Amino acid sequence: MSFWEWVKIAFKSIGANKLRSALTTLGIIIGVSAVIALVSVGQGASQEISARFESMGSHLIMIRPVRSAGGDLFIEDAYELEERIPSIEFAVPTVNFSATIKYQNKSYDTSVEGVNSGFPEVRNHNPVSGRFLIPQEIELRSRVVVLGQTVVKEIFGSQDPLEETVYIRGQPFVVVGVMEAKGTTMGVDSDDIAYIPVTTAQRLSGTSSVNTIYVKAKSAADAKIAVSHITLLYSKKFPREDAVRITSQDELLTAIGETTQTFTILLGAIAGISLLVGGIGIMNIMLVSVTERTREIGIRKAIGAKRRDIMGQFLIESILLCVAGGFIGILLGVTASRFISRVAGWTTAISPGAVILAFAFAAAIGLFFGAYPARKAAALDPIEALRYE
């Protein structure tokens, strides 16, 4: 008996028990769709995090003081880094606080970040209209502000905000620019912010220190060199090694990539368990099928069917059920991934590798869990099988 005859007989058997066949494949369908949907969530999270960090700028290094360990950083420290370390292109000190921005009878709570004129270069974020802060405004502690798109929308609507006066903590600020839209990443609105001179921010918040210094190296290779030089410089400046926390963008991306990869594998493994459960269901139904068709097997053996013909028929039937379930599971998994993205607002990414792996695993389950029932059917004694009622 040829392979295609096995397939033909298997299709007839599946068609004769449509409802049972559909219920049998349900476990495989759920397993495959769960693998694809959950892995797409993990992959999407990884891509979103990577995109967020890349949008912050390239070759970026973040220096944060640990005040409990005696660390304190000032504006002068940023300029010292630019002067003393050749691999550094820009250094931007920042001061952050929350404030209510008022314009006429409107008010809006947002984040305010004090920066210097190098911010657009370091963070890869430029104004779409007007201009950004200039060095003279930093030196003079000028009351000027550059607004993010969300702030403009909430306060001004469709009105042009340039040259308008807004109030931050009771102080008048002239709007000199509007930043380009960055969008929302991981639930954080990058456009819900206002930028003012770092010196002005210090005066408003009543501090002489800074929260963070963002450093842009000249290249990826220079970023590693810069981290070494910064570490050496601050090891001499502060008595404790943990007085400042120095983190490069590449280090963060690597660490986060490893974490999200582990998370994705875990999600896939959890979904894979349902595939195994589906495989057990396949084996159970195939064993029932062997029992129900014992007399049929005896007749086929009596008219010349070989052991391998019986085994091939039941094995192909098991594999076909799993392959059909895998195909339907792929369609449902892709649909579920898109549904999650649309309804929950999460970024999802369907991995071709995950689709192929889930489908191949489903077929392998059909082969593995169908092997025992197929062997049992092939081993039946034809005389005993014919006597079976």
pTM: 0.66
- The tens digit of pLDDT for each residue in 198-218 reads 999 999 999 999 999 999 998
**C-alpha count within 13 angstroms, C-beta hemisphere, residue 344:** 13
The per-residue pLDDT for 385 is 61
Sorted by where each begins, the domain ranges of the chain are: 3-52+255-387, 72-237
Angle between helices 220-237 and 75-84 (to 10 degrees): 120
Mean predicted lDDT score pLDDT of the chain = 86
Tokens of residue 34, six digits: 């769960």
Pairing of strands 127-130, 171-179: antiparallel
**C-alpha count within 13 angstroms, C-beta hemisphere, residue 42:** 23
pLDDT higher than threshold 90 for residue 113: yes
- The tens digit of pLDDT for each residue in 344-356 reads 777 888 888 888 8
pLDDT higher than threshold 90 for residue 343: no
pLDDT higher than threshold 80 for residue 277: yes
